[in-house]
C-alpha cells in the first residue's frame, strides 16, 4: 500500500449500523460524522439487498471523497472493488487476506479484526494487513458478548508489529484517551457516534482526543 494512505490511518473511525442509521438517514448521518471530524468511515450492512448496498456504498464513497476521508467496506471485498472504496475490513470468518489483496490490489487498505488475540495479529501482520483491530475494550451496545481486550495488547502490538492499530468496543470521549496512550491510532465507534442525538458533536468530541494536548486546553 502507498505510504500516504497508511499515514491517513489515524483518528475517529466511525462504523455505520443499519439499526441506528436506516437507509433514508444513512448519508445524512455519515455526513454529520464527517463534519465532526471522522477520518475513516466503515460501511457495515449485513441486512439489505446487494443492489441497495451497492447504491449506498457508491454514495458513501462520493461523500467520503468530498470530505477527504477514507471509506472502508466491512466484509465485502467484491463491493469494495465495485465502488472503488479505499479498502475492506475482514473478520475471522471472512475471505482470506491474500484473496482480498488479489482482488483489490496493493494500494488497498486491508484491516483485520484480531479481537483479544495477539497470535491472530501476528499472523495478519505477516500476511500483509495494513492495520489491526482489537476489542472490545469496554461494554458494547452492538456486541455485548464480544471478548474482552486489555489496553496492554495495544502497547505490545505497537512495539512488535509496527502497524496502525484500531481499538473498538464501547468507546466514548471519556474513556478513549487511555487507549490512544496505550497505542491506538484509531478509535472505532458505532453507538457512540450514530447512537447520539447530535452526531456531529459526538464525532467532534471523539476526534479531539487525537489533537495535541495544547490544542485541547
* Predicted confidence (pLDDT) per residue in 149-163, tens digit: 999 999 999 999 999
Residue 142: per-residue pLDDT: 77
Coarse DSSP helix, strand, coil percentages of the chain, rounded to the nearest 5 percent:
40, 20, 40
**Catalytically annotated residue among 10, 44, 117, 122:** 44
**Cα-based distances in Å from 197 to 35, 110, 204, 212:** 15, 31, 13, 27
Is residue 44 flagged as an active site residue? yes
Residue 144: per-residue pLDDT: 78
Q: Measured between alpha carbons, how far is 61 from 65 in angstroms, rounded to an integer? A: 6
Return the SS3 of 170. Answer: coil
Task: For residue 204, report the phi and psi dihedrals to the nearest 5 degrees.
Answer: -65, -40
Is residue 5 flagged as an active site residue? no
**Catalytically annotated residue among 6, 117, 143, 208:** 143
Q: Which of 18-27, 143-152, 169-178 has the lowest mean pLDDT?
A: 143-152
What is the average pLDDT across 137-151?
Answer: 87
Residue 99: per-residue pLDDT: 96
What is the average pLDDT across 119-134?
Answer: 96
Q: Where are the domains of the chain?
A: 3-216
What is the average pLDDT across 3-26?
Answer: 90
Query: Model confidence over 60-117: pLDDT tens digits?
Result: 999 999 999 999 999 999 999 999 999 999 997 778 999 999 999 999 999 999 999 9
Residue 214: per-residue pLDDT: 47
**Residues 6 or more apart from 169 whose CB is under 8 A from it?**
135, 136, 137, 138, 139, 140, 143, 146, 149
Evaluate whether 86 touches 109 at the Cβ level (below 8 Å): yes
Query: Model confidence over 179-200: pLDDT tens digits?
Result: 999 999 999 999 999 999 999 9
Residue 86: per-residue pLDDT: 97
Which numeric CATH code is attached to 3-216? 3.20.20.70
Residue 2: per-residue pLDDT: 52
Is residue 143 flagged as an active site residue? yes
Residue 138: per-residue pLDDT: 95
For the chain, the average pLDDT equals: 93
Residue 3: per-residue pLDDT: 57
Evaluate whether 33 touches 14 at the Cβ level (below 8 Å): yes
According to DSSP, the β-strands at 186-189 and 109-115 are unpaired
Please tell me the pTM assigned to this model. Answer: 0.94
**Catalytically annotated residue among 21, 53, 113, 136:** 113
User: Which of these, 84, 35, 16, lies nearest to 198 by C-alpha position?
Assistant: 35
Amino acid at each position: 500500500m502507498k505510504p500516504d494512505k497508511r499515514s491517513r490511518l489515524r483518528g475517529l473511525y466511525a462504523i455505520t449500523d443499519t439499526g441506528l442509521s436506516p437507509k433514508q438517514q444513512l448519508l445524512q448521518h455519515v455526513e454529520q460524522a464527517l463534519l465532526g471530524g471522522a477520518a475513516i468511515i466503515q460501511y457495515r450492512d449485513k441486512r439489505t439487498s446487494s443492489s441497495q448496498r451497492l447504491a449506498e456504498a457508491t454514495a458513501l464513497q462520493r461523500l467520503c471523497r468530498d470530505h477527504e476521508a477514507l471509506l472502508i467496506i466491512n466484509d465485502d471485498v467484491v463491493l469494495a472493488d465495485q465502488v472503488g472504496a479505499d479498502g475492506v475490513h475482514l473478520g475471522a470468518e471472512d475471505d482470506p487476506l491474500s484473496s482480498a489483496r488479489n482482488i483489490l490490489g496493493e494500494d488497498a487498505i486491508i484491516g483485520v479484526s484480531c479481537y483479544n488475540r495477539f497470535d491472530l495479529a501476528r499472523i495478519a501482520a505477516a500476511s500483509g494487513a495494513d492495520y489491526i483491530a482489537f476489542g472490545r475494550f469496554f461494554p458494547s451496545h452492538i456486541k455485548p458478548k464480544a471478548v474482552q481486550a486489555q489496553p496492554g495488547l495495544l502497547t505490545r502490538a505497537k512495539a512488535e508489529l509496527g502497524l496502525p492499530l484500531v481499538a473498538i468496543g464501547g468507546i466514548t470521549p471519556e474513556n478513549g484517551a487511555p487507549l490512544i496512550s496505550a497505542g491506538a491510532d484509531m478509535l472505532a465507534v458505532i453507538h457512540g457516534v450514530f447512537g447520539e442525538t447530535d452526531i456531529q458533536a459526538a464525532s467532534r468530541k471523539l476526534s479531539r482526543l487525537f489533537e495535541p494536548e495544547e490544542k485541547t486546553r
